Chains A and B, each alone.
Chain A
C-alpha cells in the first residue's frame, strides 16, 4: 500500500531555512493532492499547505510569506521549505494525503494517509 516518509535535518538554526522531503512509496504521486501539517511538541495540529502533482499550491496565510511547497513527480517526492525559522517553528512535521475517490481527487477531503512525522528543532 501507499506509504509516506518524511526526511530532512532534525536541527535547524534560527533564521535559516527548514527543508524537508516526503517520499511516496507503493504508489504514484500523480493525480493527488499532497499536504504538509505540523505539530509543536505537546500542542495541536496546523495545516501548512498543499500541492497538486502538477505544481499548483495553496498555503496557510499564517505561513504563506515563508513557505514553499514543490514537487518532483519523477522522483515521487514533494518538498517543504520554511524560511527564517524561529523556535516557534519547532515541531513534528507530517506529510499527508487527502482521500481520493475512484473517480475524482479533491483537496477538500479528510486526510486518510499520513507519514510517521519528523521532529525538527530550531536551535542554535
Chain B
C-alpha cells in the first residue's frame, strides 16, 4: 500500500495569512507514461462529504477559489491557501489514485488563530 503522511496534524492561521499543508507518499505517485502525479486534495467540513479542490497535484477544480493551490511531484506535495478566509476552516486530505488500494492522508485541521 502507498502510505500518505500529512503534516502538520493541525494548524492555526490568522485571517488573510498563508496556510501550508504537506503530504508525503511512501512511493512516487508520478506515472512515467503520462508524466502526471496521481494526487488529489479534498476539503471536508463537519457533517459534509469531502469536496474536491485539486487533482493531478496542481490542477484546481472548477469553481475552487484561486487562493487554493497545489504543488509538488513524485513523493512530496503541498496544498497552499494563500489568504485564509473564515470559510476555509476545515480538514484537508490528500489522496493518491496511482494504485489500489487508494489511500488518504490522515488529514490536517485548519483553524483560525
Contact B98 A108 (CB under 8 A): yes
8 Å CB contact of B50 from A108, A109, A114: A114
Q: Per DSSP, are chain B's interface residues mostly helix, strand or loop, or mixed? A: loop
Tally of chain A residues near chain B (CB < 8 A): 23
Chain B residues positioned under 8 Å from A105 (CB to CB): none
- Say whether A99 faces chain B, with CB atoms less than 8 Å apart: yes
How far apart are the CA atoms of A99 and B97 in the complex, in Å?
11
Tally of chain B residues near chain A (CB < 8 A): 23
Chain A residues positioned under 8 Å from B104 (CB to CB): 44-47
Least CB distance from A92 to B in Å reads 9
For the complex of A and B, 7 pairs with smallest distance between CB atoms: A114-B49, A110-B40, A60-B101, A110-B55, A47-B102, A45-B104, A44-B106
Residues of A participating in the B interface, judged by any CB pair closer than 8 Å: 35, 44-47, 58, 60-62, 94, 96, 98-99, 107-112, 114-117
Residues of B participating in the A interface, judged by any CB pair closer than 8 Å: 1, 38, 40, 42, 48-50, 52, 55, 61, 93, 95, 97-107
